[in-house]
């Protein structure tokens, strides 16, 4: 009897690069995929003219067909309400242009610097505070990267570098590896933090190869994910998180409190419970940044504080994220506290 070597099992699932480059960008296609009424199309097309629709298919697969109120759909479907002018809602709600000393760098807080690695995202969230950020003015070419390294070397008070965007994981492993290697040569840098929505909307992005890059750096590494609803979490997200944790990466989550998505106690409790089940610790629950086009998501600070107080009465402390907002010019996030 002849013996044969075992057959290598090759997954036929599309890779993350394919999923990232084949997102749904047409409102009509999204409505068709989810079997939603055509009456939603006109409003979706109006919103799309201001901030284009972009949503990956793995995220769409988590949405309920035929439900225009699906909490995941509401985060990505353009609406005619986005065209309304609402006082106090601006194109640069965090005034990041005031903290942009070099191309690709935002330096607002003591001890840490944020780098805009990419203007690309896997998904265009309708409440994004960087809907109108000038990514074209902050591209990181060779010269800009060299300037950033010089900036970091000259300021020994900086201990942490934050990869942001867009989404920093929309860039290639090889580029990320080169950047991390360059940063490792600066002795006073000790922490690397990565903020990304990709592990939620395209969990295939967290490959063994990428996780190994983070596992092999000298930095203490933190991955901050962004999920707003328990329905965003599934077995593929859990597998992605486990790959990170196997490489000693600390995995946290930040959410935004959004009207019609998660602005009730049950949704927030389920989110915290599901995050912990998937190996993720709740970190921040932010109130909405007043970005132009997103006023229909707004939840008042008073309601937010009441919900947070109810969470504290329902969950153990380690599952209660900090409720906060970012106020331009302040030296840190501002906590929102419940008052009787």
Percent of the chain residues past pLDDT 70, beyond the cut: 95
Q: Find the mean pLDDT for residues 310-332.
A: 94
Q: Report the distance separating Cα 19 and Cα 251, nearest Å.
A: 23
Is the pLDDT at 177 greater than 60? The verdict is: yes
CATH topology of domain 96-335: TIM Barrel (3.20.20)
- Give the Å distances, CA to CA, from 148 to 98, 160, 217: 17, 14, 20
Q: Report the distance separating Cα 309 and Cα 324, nearest Å.
A: 13
Is the pLDDT at 43 greater than 80? The verdict is: yes
Higher pLDDT, 220 or 3: 220
Q: How many CB atoms lie within 10 A of CB 51?
A: 19
Is the pLDDT at 2 greater than 80? The verdict is: no
Q: Which regions of the chain carry the CATH code 3.20.20.70? A: 96-335
Q: Find the mean pLDDT for residues 116-126.
A: 91
Tell me, what's the pLDDT at 329? Answer: 83
Of 6-20, 28-42, 241-255, give the lowest mean pLDDT range. 6-20
Q: Report the distance separating Cα 303 and Cα 289, nearest Å.
A: 16
Tell me, what's the pLDDT at 192? Answer: 98
pLDDT band at 12 (very low <50, low <70, confident <90, very high): low
pLDDT band at 99 (very low <50, low <70, confident <90, very high): confident
């Amino acid at each position: 009897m002849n013996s044969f070597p075992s057959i290598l099992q090759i997954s036929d699932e599309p890779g993350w690069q394919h999923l990232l480059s084949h997102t749904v960008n047409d409102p009509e296609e999204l409505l068709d995929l989810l079997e939603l009424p055509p009456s939603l199309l006109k409003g979706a097309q109006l919103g799309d003219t201001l901030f284009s629709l972009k949503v990956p298919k793995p995220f769409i697969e988590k949405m309920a067909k035929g439900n225009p109120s699906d909490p995941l759909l509401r985060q990505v479907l353009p609406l005619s309400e986005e065209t309304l002018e609402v006082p106090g809602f601006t194109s640069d709600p965090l005034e990041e242009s005031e903290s942009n000393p070099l191309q690709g760098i935002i330096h607002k807080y003591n001890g840490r610097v944020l780098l805009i690695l990419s203007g690309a995202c896997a998904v265009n969230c309708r409440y994004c505070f960087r809907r109108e950020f000038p990514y074209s003015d902050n591209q990181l070419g060779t010269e800009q990267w060299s300037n950033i390294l010089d900036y970091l070397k000259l300021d020994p008070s900086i201990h942490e570098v934050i990869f942001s965007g867009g989404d920093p994981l929309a860039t290639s492993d090889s580029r990320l590896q080169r950047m991390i290697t360059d940063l490792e040569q600066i002795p006073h840098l000790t922490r690397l933090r990565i903020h990304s929505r990709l592990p939620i909307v395209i969990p295939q992005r967290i490959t063994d190869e990428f996780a190994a890059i983070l596992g092999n750096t000298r930095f203490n590494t933190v991955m901050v994910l962004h999920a707003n609803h328990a329905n965003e979490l599934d077995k593929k997200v859990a597998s992605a998180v486990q790959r990170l944790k196997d490489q000693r990466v600390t995995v946290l989550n930040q959410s935004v409190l959004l009207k019609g998505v998660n602005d009730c106690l049950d949704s927030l409790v389920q989110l915290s419970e599901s995050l912990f089940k998937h190996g993720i610790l709740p970190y921040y629950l932010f109130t909405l940044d007043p970005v132009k086009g997103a006023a229909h998501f707004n939840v008042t600070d008073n309601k937010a504080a009441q919900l947070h107080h109810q969470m504290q009465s329902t969950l153990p402390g380690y599952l209660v994220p900090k409720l906060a907002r970012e106020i331009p010019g302040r030296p840190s996030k501002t906590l929102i506290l419940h008052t009787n």
